[in-house]
Amino acid sequence: MLWAQQKILVVISKYDQFVQYDTLLSVLTGVRKLREDRWVYGYIWCLPHPQLSAKSPFTPPFVMGLAMLFSRDLPKFILYRYHPSLVAAVIFAILFMCTTFFHVFQAARKGSKFLIPLIIGGFFEIGGYITRAFAHSNETSLSIYVVQVILLLVAPALFAASIYMVLSRLILRTEGESMAPIRAKWLTKIFVCGDVLSFFVQSAGGSMVSKASSITAGKHLIVVGLFLQIIFFGIFLVTSLIFDRRLRRTPTPASMSINWQKYMLTLYFSGVLILVRSLFRVAEFTGGNAGPLMTSEVWLYVFDAVLMLGVLVSLNVVHPGDILGKKAEGSMMALSEMDTSTEAFGRK
């Protein structure tokens, strides 16, 4: 089927009343109205229609003429404005597999259950890039497009949830609650709840992109979810900086026994990566389907794939489970008991 035929059939499938030849002609006077229905452009490539038969009044010349008219007046939404790279998708799927499975091993060995959201996010990244690999030979598949969009959109929200929990545990581990502007138990509840809200808003927006009637609303929801993530993460970074500064000025006895600064620096590093990535995504979606960030695949890999891989790898290298996992806590308790016994023996 000709591209032009599929193009005009988008309009036919949207406006069900345009099923008669003379009625369809009235479309010519409604170009301005159609121009406003920007969702139309997502379904250009994949809508064959049974009415385009040999007996149909919608003959190829007539359909071609209408298609040329609409092509001048309607903005085109194409799922990918580039040919998705198979090599890049496979490489990043493998890289995310390596770091995620290493996180599984580290979490199991060190008893770091609070990193489960991070690990799930890693699997989302793997699934997202595997799906993009399939998109290489299925550029017109809306389902593949929506799946990879949702997985890659929400994965950083899961990373953020674990990072919030790391800070709250670090505050408790250093016995520095008096230094934190927000109590540790409330810190986790506030930021994780905000993160969950952002997660579901972005997921809802991503799922709405799959429906013709709600594609614009879906994009708006995605942007709202990203802004929520940016706001909560910005407040989190400010909270972290205040705690860090106060604890450096007035260290607690517990903080002097561990290198907590190293873990704070890792939180800052991973936090900034997530923040930059979220800002990129906001610019990407607000720029429109024909915007500069949508016309080249390289931006997705530079400002999303590489940055999110950096988050996972940095937490592989400086793993919070070393001082915050259950096994680390057990070792510290054993050392504390030994110190207490030694002091008691000395007094005797």
**Per-residue 3-state assignment (H helix, E strand, C coil) for the chain:** CCHHHHHHHHHHHHCCCCCCHHHHHHHHHHHHHHHHCHHHHHHCCCCCCCCCCCCCCCCHHHHHHHHHHHHHHCCCCCCCCCCCCHHHHHHHHHHHHHHHHHHHHHHHHHCCHHHHHHHHHHHHHHHHHHHHHHHCCCCCCHHHHHHHHHHHHHHHHHHHHHHHHHHHHHHHHCCCHHHCCCCHHHHHHHHHHHHHHHHHHHHHHHHHCCCHHHHHHHHHHHHHHHHHHHHHHHHHHHHHHHHHHHHHHCCCCCHHHCCHHHHHHHHHHHHHHHHHHHHHHHHHHHCCCCCCCCCCCHHHHHHHHHHHHHHHHHHHHCCCHHHHCHHHHHHHHHHHHHHHHHHHHHHC
pLDDT at 78: 67
78 within domain boundaries: no
- Residue after which a domain boundary falls, among 21, 41, 73: 73
Shared-domain flag, residues 326 and 293: yes
Average pLDDT over residues 2-23: 39
Shared-domain flag, residues 101 and 8: no
Confidence of residue 47 (pLDDT cuts 50, 70, 90): very low
pLDDT at 298: 92
Average pLDDT over residues 238-261: 92
pLDDT at 10: 42
Shared-domain flag, residues 131 and 256: yes
Shared-domain flag, residues 332 and 252: yes
342 within domain boundaries: no
Least confident span in 154-168, 302-316, 324-338? 324-338
Shared-domain flag, residues 68 and 211: no
pLDDT at 122: 97
pLDDT exceeds cutoff 70 at 37 = no
205 within domain boundaries: yes
Shared-domain flag, residues 39 and 136: no
The mean pLDDT value of the chain amounts to 76
Global confidence as pTM = 0.72
Shared-domain flag, residues 149 and 192: yes
* Percent of residues, the chain, with pLDDT higher than 70: 69
269 within domain boundaries: yes
- Residue after which a domain boundary falls, among 30, 51, 73: 73
Which structural domain, as residue segments, surrounds residue 261? 86-336
pLDDT at 83: 86
122-137, pLDDT tens digit by residue?
Answer: 999 999 999 999 999 8
Average pLDDT over residues 330-338: 43
User: What total of structural domains would you count in the chain?
Assistant: 2
Shared-domain flag, residues 126 and 176: yes
The larger pLDDT score, comparing residue 169 to residue 13, is at 169
Shared-domain flag, residues 294 and 152: yes
- Residue after which a domain boundary falls, among 73, 97, 125: 73
Shared-domain flag, residues 208 and 256: yes
149 within domain boundaries: yes
pLDDT exceeds cutoff 50 at 68 = no
pLDDT at 327: 59
347 within domain boundaries: no
- Output the domain CATH number for residue 206: 1.20.1070
Is the Cβ–Cβ distance between 270 and 311 less than 8 Å? yes
